[in-house]
Amino acid sequence: MAFGSDNSDATLHLPRILCLHGGGTNARIFKMQCRAFKYHLGRQFRFIFAEAPFPTKPGPDVTSVYSSYGPFKGWLRPTEDSEDKDLCAAEASMLIQYSINSAIIADNHLGATGKVVGVLGFSQGARLAASLLYNQQHRGERLSLSSRKQPTTSTNWPDFQFAILMAGRGKLVWLMPDIQMPEGATAPLQPKSMPPQLQDDAPSWEGLNINEKLQIPTVHVHGLQDVGLEFHRSMAKRYCAPSSSTVIEWQGDHRVPIKTKDVMLVAEQMTRLAKPQHALRSPSKPTFGGFPRGSLAQTMVQA
């Protein structure tokens, strides 16, 4: 299932943003949560809202407002301890890719022709968005080494220029089961016997060489009242190269920003990174506090 930005022919040619909802919600809910972004960017981008494949319980902040908007979905496959983890991971990867491709194809059938330039995710959706970029980066490295001209069949999603990661945390998910999973990544599984919060860190990534981290541009959007703020900041510093990371912090909790002053800071980054000349950024700039000195990666909103 997928929900396009609207049915107006005026948006069909616009560059597109793939939107990934958080765990325990769905595409319909996320479309409502992103209403401010659609309002301010509706003439610059067309938004595609993908639906996660796995049924799950509603998130703790969902039932108070969206209890009647089920069914609720998640991006990680629930697993029992007795199940074959390799088979489960392969199945989960296939279903995740199917969800993403279905959303884009459905929008194509509506007449959309714009390139899918970016991916925007919230919470678990942000984790998946960062994971898509990481898999894309590894896919590109393998193609370069093998001199193959066509993408591997391991992934079928677009080549994103950037990701907007709202309240993202946790290990990056590996979605190419036919390729050995890098150290520090994890399968797209959610063990039923393990609380989600125990899977949200990856110490083995702390000492990674900067070239092994995510190089594709990312914008990390953190609410300063979010109880998971420490984990969200850690995702930016631990998984992403400093020169390609931008951090925006705003006065809010675990939700999508809706105030114009907060939304516009993110919107400016989306507009900038959608331009072809900003698809890649140099990793050679000196850093300050984990981010490039004098660059937009120091953007911090604490109003």
CA separation for the pair 119, 18 (Å, rounded): 5
Residue 35, amino acid: R
144 catalytic? Reply is no
CB 15 within 8 A of CB 46: yes
123 catalytic? Reply is yes
The CB density around residue 193, as the number of other CB atoms within 10 Å, is: 7
CA separation for the pair 88, 92 (Å, rounded): 6
**Can you read off the two tokens belonging to residue 210?**
């900067």
- Cα separations (Å) of 98 from 52, 66, 89? 10, 26, 14
226 catalytic? Reply is yes
* Catalytic hit among 21, 93, 222, 226: 226
* Catalytic hit among 93, 99, 123, 245: 123
* Catalytic hit among 245, 254, 262, 295: 254
CA separation for the pair 188, 88 (Å, rounded): 9
Q: Catalytic residue positions?
A: 123, 226, 254
